[in-house]
Amino acid sequence: MAMITDASNDLERLTFFISNLIPYSDDVLRKQIVGKWSIQDIISHIMGWDKNFITTLDRIINNEEVKLEEHHDVQAFNEASVTFGRNIEPHDLLQEAISQRRQLVLKLNMVSETAFIRQFHNSAYTLETFLREMFIGHDKHHQEQILRHLQTVTLNNQQ
């Protein structure tokens, strides 16, 4: 059974990943790499979910009723997150995303271990399984997309 510290450490890894993007130019961060999304868009998308989930963690900490589930309109939520991020300078967005993820981890560490592993009412998830599937696995997916793109940028610059 995983502990909150394990999930916190896995979630915190994203802040180090984003920190490693800081040396890249605005042009690299804004270039479309996946469909219509750029690195900046992907980071903004992740940050949107972090900001949204911090509210859920607050409710869990306060012993309020929550239902752990995917957003009812994922497409609209993602579009709003990406639009928000496009109105921020890329490097400011990176810093804000790091800050939001750290806030999420801080809130997670305020949750009891009991609440972390219990099945939530009307939900297929525990907080642990929700974070593993919706955040940690999601982070890895997008990190791989970004890394693949940055490898091609590096190769093209060496040729």
pLDDT recorded at residue 5: 94
pTM value?
A: 0.92
Local structure of residue 119 (DSSP, 8 states): B
Number of domains in the chain: 1
| CATH number of the domain enclosing 71 | 1.20.120.450
The helix (run of H) or strand (run of E) holding residue 37 is strand 37-38
pLDDT recorded at residue 155: 61
pLDDT recorded at residue 121: 81
Torsion, Cα 91 54 138 152, to 10 degrees, reads 0
Q: Kindly give the interhelix angle for 39-61 and 74-86, rounded to the nearest 10 degrees.
A: 120
Q: Quote the domain boundaries for residue 111.
A: 4-158
Give me the average pLDDT of each 10-residue run along the chain (159 residues).
87 98 96 91 97 96 88 91 96 98 98 91 90 96 95 67
Local structure of residue 24 (DSSP, 8 states): S
